[in-house]
């Protein structure tokens, strides 16, 4: 039976989603606008036998999360821009060492201390490329309170399935917004469990994992004497460091990339609205997608064919959906609370097949529907609009 | 690794009855706990001695190797993770104690041993050291203190003595060296010990005492780095460097705490031992209270 509808804050929904996903460990450091996630989990985790710890900084927080995950717990941390920057090295470690974990970044204006209480989407490229070196990553972007819950569950499922860090890119607006939702109960959800590899300790070698069959790593303190390292390692020899053999380094790097890229069409989730006959598409994510939806509805009322493509998965980039959109529409409007970060990515994917119009804001204010409506009017300059924008 | 474990030396090792008794194990027993007999440590490096002392301590305490994990940072000492045949984690530089805090909290029954170098522990990882000590989490931290950054080729570290030479203090180090045992004690560690790689069996005993202690235990193992510390500072012979350790090490009950420290002499043995509520035990109480309240 679903829980009754009630007013839930976005950050609270993330915390409840984590509990529902089976997360039993949180380590974090207070930072606006993510702090409520820590506050809620400090109360909720011990109730379900889990563990909450407030660490000395964000570097320690992601470190503790990785340690807890290696010991067998589903684990997460939550932060905002400055903390997300501090975590980058260990996000790379989790990627290299294939440690499932979830990092929630409630985006605020930056760089540096920036605009602590105002929303931004300035971290979308940092989520993709923030840590050094070639790596792949999964990042999800909620645009409602209900999605703060469901995408947190999804983030854990993906992190377990692909043994990778997954980033949930919320923002100050989504995190602090309250909506009436009925949060699903555990039995209404698909929750991935970690399990043990299907081989005896002496036979365990991670090389038996393939991009189509990623075995779980046994927990520390199990019968398997695992070795975990951030160095390049040889999957065929118990994961021991191997830095002198180029083919081992290349093989590992390609495996780490392909285990996610090979599945990107399965991972990538996109919501498409009114796209069947659209001549112009809006590509918008997170809180901006809410304004984009309002602008799209306004346009439809005015009799012009505008659709919305809302990536729920930002990374890996939803290439198939963008490709399809590029074949169909003449213009793609990309409003975002940064200066062209995803717009460049869309432009590269579109490759000249459609015009890409960017619209950025970095003043800490949400993009209003009217701003997008004005961009739509320009694309339909020959049309008589009854309502002003 | 076996050269220093001769019977003569063992007979000279003082036995502290307040600590677990550690008898040296045969080399064959020791190597069963290694993945490989080969290491990248230089000839004359003391890291192998401390590794053996650690294995001896774990065997003496009869810890279940399956339930024992070693978490280490980056640097020469951190490479121990590739050699020990237990669950081992080679973390990012400085972050071993952060990962250990997560692992121990998620599985309080796990025996968690942390190995760090001096730069790893008190430079880049210093913040984690003081907070792990403050929390009194039941983890045993062993610092292989060679007073230099060995892996990167001999740069000064926070434990390089004033005046000493390194590739980044070519005119002599002007900074004061950390007394990391004092730091750990002040931050709240409930077991603090210092030993030398010269006095191998005593070191093994101090490590065993740390592992047996319930709470944050901190063991500083003085190790010699002939290649990068010795050669730059006029004592490149490994045996001579061990003798320097012997000359400087003063049993803590004979140590004059008002006199000069560190460069000339330092106290060895159990420097601090206190009982204080351990972190994961305290948190288990939180879980019990939270569950009782949410049921009630």
| Contact (Cβ atoms closer than 8 angstroms) between residue A101 and residue A27 | no
- Pairwise CA distance, residues B261 & B258, whole Å: 9
Average pLDDT of chain A, as a whole number? 96
Nearest CA in chain A to B80: A227
Residue numbers of A between 39 and 78 with CB closer than 8 Å to B: 43, 46-47, 49, 51, 53, 55-57, 59-73, 75
What is the nearest CA distance from B142 to chain A, expressed in angstroms?
18
Contact A71 B290 (CB under 8 A): no
Query: What's the gap in Å between the CA of B288 and the closest CA on chain A?
Result: 8
B24 within some domain = no
| Bridge partners for A359 per DSSP | A335
pLDDT recorded at residue B3: 45
In the stretch 241-300 of chain A, residues with CB closer than 8 A to chain B read: 241
pLDDT of residue B2: 43
State how far residue B118 is from chain A, nearest Cα, in angstroms.
Answer: 18
Which residues constitute the domain of residue B105? 38-295
Closest residue to A55, CB basis, from B35, B67, B98: B98
CB atoms within 10 A of CB A134: 10
Contact B287 A93 (CB under 8 A): no
Q: What angle do CA B84, B86, B87 make, to 5 degrees?
A: 115
Which tens digit of pLDDT belongs to each residue from A46-65? 999 999 999 999 999 999 99
| Confidence at residue B5, expressed as pLDDT on a 0 to 100 scale | 47
CB contact under 8 A, B99 and A43: no
Determine which of B61-70, B94-103, B260-269 has the lowest per-residue pLDDT on average.
B260-269
pLDDT for position B4:
45
Phi, psi torsion values for B180, nearest 5 degrees = -75, -20
Q: Is there a contact between A47 and B290 if contact means CB atoms under 8 Å apart?
A: yes
Task: Closest CB to A241: pick one of B71, B82, B287.
Answer: B82
Confidence label for A1 from pLDDT (cuts 50, 70 and 90): low
Pick the residue from chain B with its C-alpha nearest to A70.
B103
Phi, psi (degrees; rounded to nearest 5) at B106: -75, -30
- How many CA within 13 A on the CB side of residue A243? 6
In a domain, B245, yes or no: yes
The verdict on B197 touching A (C-beta cutoff 8 Å) is no
Yes or no, beta carbons of A71 and B95 under 8 Å apart:
no
- Point out the residue among A43, A53, A59 whose CB comes nearest to the CB of B101: A53
Residue B23: inside a domain, yes or no? no
Q: Tell me the pLDDT tens digit for each residue of B84-115.
A: 999 999 999 999 999 999 999 999 999 999 99
Contacts of B106 in chain A (CB under 8 A): 24-25, 51, 67-69, 71-73, 75
* Mutation site, A43, A56, A205, A244, interface B, largest B CB count within 10 A: A56
Element at A257 (helix H, strand E): helix A246-261
CB–CB of A77/A55 below 8 Å?
no
Q: Does B139 touch chain A (CB under 8 A)?
A: no
Residues 6+ apart with CB under 8 A from A269: A140, A311, A312, A313, A318
The predicted-structure confidence for A183-232, as pLDDT tens digits, reads as follows: 998 889 999 999 888 888 887 777 778 999 898 999 999 988 899 999 99
Q: Where are the domains of chain A?
A: 6-188, 201-265, 271-388
Do the Cβ atoms of B287 and A75 come within 8 Å?
A: no
- Is B101 a member of any domain? yes
Confidence band (pLDDT; 50, 70, 90) for B174?
A: very high
Please determine, for residue B293, whether its predicted confidence score (pLDDT) is greater than 90. yes
Q: Do A57 and B35 touch (CB under 8 A)?
A: no
What CATH code is assigned to A271-388?
A: 3.40.50.920
Buried b or exposed e, range A156-165, using 16+ CB within 10 angstroms: bbbbbbbbbb
Query: Which region among A140-154, A246-260, B201-215, B259-273 has the lowest average model confidence (pLDDT)?
Result: B259-273
Q: Is the pLDDT of residue B168 over 90?
A: yes
Q: Does the reported pTM lie above 0.90?
A: yes
- For residue B9, pLDDT over 60 is answered with no
Complex confidence, ipTM: 0.96
Condensed to tens digits (0 to 9), the pLDDT of residues B133-161 reads 999 999 999 999 999 999 999 999 999 99
Tell how strand A280-283 and strand A306-311 pair up.
parallel
For residue A222, which residues of chain B lie inside 8 Å, CB to CB? 66, 87
Q: Tell me whether domains A6-188 and A271-388 share a fold.
A: yes
B6 in a structural domain: no
Asked if pLDDT for residue A258 goes beyond 70, the answer is: yes
Q: With an 8 Å Cβ cutoff, is A205 touching chain B? A: no
Check CB contact under 8 Å for A64 and B99.
yes
- CA B296 to each of CA A21, A47, A78, B292: distance values in angstroms, whole numbers, following the listed order: 25, 12, 30, 6
Quick check: B1 pLDDT over 80? no
Question: Please, is B133 exposed, middle or buried when counting C-beta atoms within 10 Å of its C-beta (0-12, 13-18, 19+)?
Answer: buried
Is there a domain that residue B28 lies in?
A: no
**Looking at residue B221, which CATH number applies to its domain?**
3.40.50.970
**For a pLDDT cut of 70, what percent of chain A falls above it?**
99
Confidence (pLDDT) at A235: 87
Q: In the structure, what pLDDT confidence band is assigned to residue B11 with cuts at 50, 70 and 90?
A: very low
Give the phi and the psi of residue A13 in degrees, each rounded to 5: -65, -35
Tell me which CATH code domain A6-188 carries: 3.40.50.970
Query: Which residues in chain B have their CB less than 8 angstroms from residue A73's CB?
Result: 106-107
Q: Closest approach of chain A CAs to the CA of B289, in angstroms?
A: 8
CA distance B222 to B206: 12
Q: Give DSSP secondary structure letters for chain B.
A: --TT--HHHHHHS---TTS---PPPPHHHHHTTBS-S---PPTT-SHHHHHHHHHHHHHHTT--GGGEEEEE-SSTGGGHHHHBSSEEEE-STT-HHHHHHHHHHH-TTSEEEEEEEHHIIIIITHHHHHHHHHHT-S-EEEEEE-SSBTTTTSB--TTSPTT--BTTBTT---SPPP-HHHHHHHHT-SEEEEEESSSHHHHHHHHHHHHHSSS-EEEEEE---IIIIIGGGT---HHHHHHHHHHHEEEGGG--TTS--TTS-EEEEEEEE-----HHHHHHHHHHHHHHHHH-
A/B interface, count of CB pairs below 8 Å:
152
Q: Does B76 touch chain A (CB under 8 A)?
A: no
Cα–Cα distance, A103 to A64 (Å, whole number) = 12
What's the whole-number mean pLDDT along residues A235-256? 92
Average pLDDT over residues A67-88: 98
For residue A199, the model assigns a pLDDT of: 85
Tell me if residue A33 falls in helix, strand or coil.
coil
Q: What is the mean pLDDT of residues A338-362?
A: 98
Chain B closest CA to A139's CA: distance in Å? 23
Buried b (16+ CB within 10 A) or exposed e, A27-59: bbbebbbbbbbbbbbbebbbbeebbbbebbbbb
Q: Measure in Å the smallest separation between the Cα of A98 and chain B Cα atoms.
A: 12
């Amino acid at each position: 039976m679903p829980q009754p509808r009630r007013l839930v804050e976005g950050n609270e929904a993330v915390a409840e989603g984590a509990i529902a996903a089976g997360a039993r460990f949180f380590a974090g450091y207070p930072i606006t606008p993510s702090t409520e996630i820590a506050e809620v989990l400090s109360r909720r985790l011990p109730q379900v036998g889990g563990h909450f710890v407030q660490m000395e900084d964000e570097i320690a927080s992601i470190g503790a999360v990785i340690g807890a995950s290696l010991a067998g717990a589903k684990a997460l941390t939550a932060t905002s821009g400055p903390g997300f920057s501090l975590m980058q090295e260990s996000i790379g470690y989790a990627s290299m060492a294939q440690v499932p974990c979830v990092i929630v970044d409630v985006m605020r204006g930056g760089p540096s201390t920036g605009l602590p209480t105002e929303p931004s989407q300035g971290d979308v490229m940092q989520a993709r490329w923030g840590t050094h070196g070639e790596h792949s990553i999964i990042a999800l972007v909620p645009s409602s309170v209900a999605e703060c819950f469901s995408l947190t569950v999804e983030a854990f499922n993906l992190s377990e399935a692909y043994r990778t860090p997954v980033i949930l890119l919320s923002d100050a607006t989504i995190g602090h917004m309250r909506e009436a939702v009925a949060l699903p109960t555990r039995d209404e959800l698909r929750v991935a469990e970690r399990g043990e590899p299907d081989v005896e300790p002496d036979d365990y070698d991670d090389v038996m994992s393939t991009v189509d069959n990623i075995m779980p790593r046994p927990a520390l303190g199990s019968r398997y004497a695992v070795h975990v390292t951030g160095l390049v390692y040889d999957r065929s020899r118990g994961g021991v460091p191997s830095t002198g053999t180029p083919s081992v380094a290349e093989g590992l790097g390609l495996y780490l990339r392909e285990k996610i890229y090979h599945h990107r069409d399965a991972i990538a989730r996109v919501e498409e609205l009114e796209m069947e006959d659209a001549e112009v598409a809006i590509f918008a994510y997170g809180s901006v997608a809410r304004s984009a939806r309002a602008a799209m509805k306004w346009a439809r009322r005015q009799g012009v064919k505008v659709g919305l493509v809302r990536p729920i998965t930002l990374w890996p980039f939803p290439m198939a959906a963008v490709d399809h959109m590029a074949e169909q529409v003449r213009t793609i409007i990309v409003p975002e609370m940064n200066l062209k970060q995803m717009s460049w990515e869309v432009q590269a994917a579109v490759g000249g097949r459609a015009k890409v119009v960017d619209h950025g804001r970095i003043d800490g204010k949400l993009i209003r529907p009217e701003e997008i409506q004005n961009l739509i009017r320009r694309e339909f300059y020959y049309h008589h609009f009854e309502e002003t924008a | 690794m076996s050269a220093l474990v001769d019977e003569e030396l063992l007979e000279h090792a003082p036995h502290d009855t307040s600590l677990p008794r550690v008898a040296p194990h045969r080399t064959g027993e020791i190597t069963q706990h290694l993945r490989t007999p080969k290491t990248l440590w230089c000839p004359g490096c003391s890291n192998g001695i401390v590794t053996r002392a650690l294995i001896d301590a774990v065997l003496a305490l009869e810890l279940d190797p399956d339930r024992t994990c070693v978490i280490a940072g980056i640097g020469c000492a951190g490479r121990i993770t590739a050699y020990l045949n237990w669950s081992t984690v080679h973390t990012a530089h400085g972050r071993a104690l952060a990962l250990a805090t997560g692992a121990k909290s998620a599985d309080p029954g796990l025996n968690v041993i942390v190995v760090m170098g001096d730069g790893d522990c008190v430079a880049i990882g210093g913040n984690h050291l003081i907070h792990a000590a403050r929390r009194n989490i039941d983890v045993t931290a062993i610092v292989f203190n060679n007073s230099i950054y060995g892996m990167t080729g001999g740069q000064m570290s926070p434990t390089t003595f004033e005046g000493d030479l390194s590739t980044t203090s070519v005119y002599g180090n002007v900074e004061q060296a950390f007394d990391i045992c004092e730091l750990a004690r002040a931050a709240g560690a409930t077991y603090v010990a210092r030993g030398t790689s010269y006095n191998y069996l005593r070191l093994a005993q101090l490590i065993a005492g740390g592992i047996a202690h319930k709470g944050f235990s901190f063991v500083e193992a003085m190790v010699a780095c002939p290649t990068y510390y010795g050669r730059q500072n006029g004592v490149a012979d490994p045996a001579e460097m061990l003798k320097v350790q012997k000359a400087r090490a003063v049993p803590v009950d004979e140590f004059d705490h008002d006199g000069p420290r560190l460069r000339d002499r330092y106290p060895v043995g159990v420097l601090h031992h206190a009982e204080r509520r351990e972190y994961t035990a305290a948190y288990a109480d939180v879980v019990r209270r939270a569950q009782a309240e949410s049921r009630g």
